[in-house]
């Protein structure tokens, strides 16, 4: 599979019947769910799961999604969603990039970018990333 950037973290997806809307294709809201799933699985792979977020009283919360829907997905399509950490300030913000492809024909269905901010879970307020975030997410930064 040819990706926009090198060394992606990739998850496999299958379009389910409940993902289909009245127009006969995967609903745009489902794509957002897939982005979240991919980001979480990548974070888990990096050792930063929900239990660790709670222990640290910190989380990466979405502050902005930018999504380009390029082609439709249909029921039973097998898809692959890739993510990369492309930017971070090592304090509050981190940006992920995503690309969704259908391997059977190589078509890119979506490109997206999500900006996250580090928050304190107990207050919901922005807080600096703890050392565990720097150590976990840092090596995954493209070009790190």
pLDDT digits (tens, 9 = 90+) for 91-144: 999 999 999 999 999 999 999 999 999 999 999 999 999 999 999 999 999 975
CB 58 within 8 A of CB 118: yes
- pLDDT for position 71: 97
Adjacent-strand bridge partners of 120: 58
Of 115, 41, 130, nearest in space to 85 by CA: 115
Overall size of the chain counted in residues: 144
Question: Is the entire prediction scored with pTM above 0.75?
Answer: yes
What phi and psi, each to the nearest 5 degrees, are found at residue 125?
-90, 150
**Helix, strand, coil percent values for the chain (each to nearest 5):** 25, 40, 35
Q: Looking at residue 144, what is its pLDDT?
A: 59
pLDDT tens across 45-64, in order? Answer: 999 999 999 999 999 999 99
How far is the CA of 50 from the CAs of 5, 14, 24, 75, in angstroms? 27, 24, 34, 31
Structure tokens at 86: 């492309």
pLDDT digits 0-9 by tens, 6-49: 999 999 999 999 999 999 999 999 999 999 999 999 999 999 99
The three-point CA angle 34-127-112 to 5° equals: 25
CA distances from 139 to 59, 85, 87 (A): 18, 9, 12
């Amino acid at each position: 599979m040819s990706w926009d950037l090198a060394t992606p973290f990739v998850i496999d997806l299958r379009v389910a019947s409940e993902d289909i809307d009245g127009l006969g294709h995967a609903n745009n809201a489902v794509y957002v769910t897939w982005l979240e799933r991919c980001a979480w699985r990548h974070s888990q792979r990096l050792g930063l799961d929900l239990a660790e977020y709670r222990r640290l009283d910190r989380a990466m919360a979405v502050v902005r999604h930018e999504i380009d829907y390029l082609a439709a997905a249909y029921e039973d399509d097998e898809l692959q969603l890739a993510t990369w950490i492309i930017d971070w300030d090592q304090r509050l913000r981190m940006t992920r990039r995503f690309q969704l492809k259908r391997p059977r024909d190589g078509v890119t269905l979506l490109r997206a970018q999500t900006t996250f901010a580090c928050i304190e879970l107990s207050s919901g307020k922005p807080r600096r990333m703890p050392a565990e975030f720097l150590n976990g997410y840092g090596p995954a930064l493209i070009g790190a």
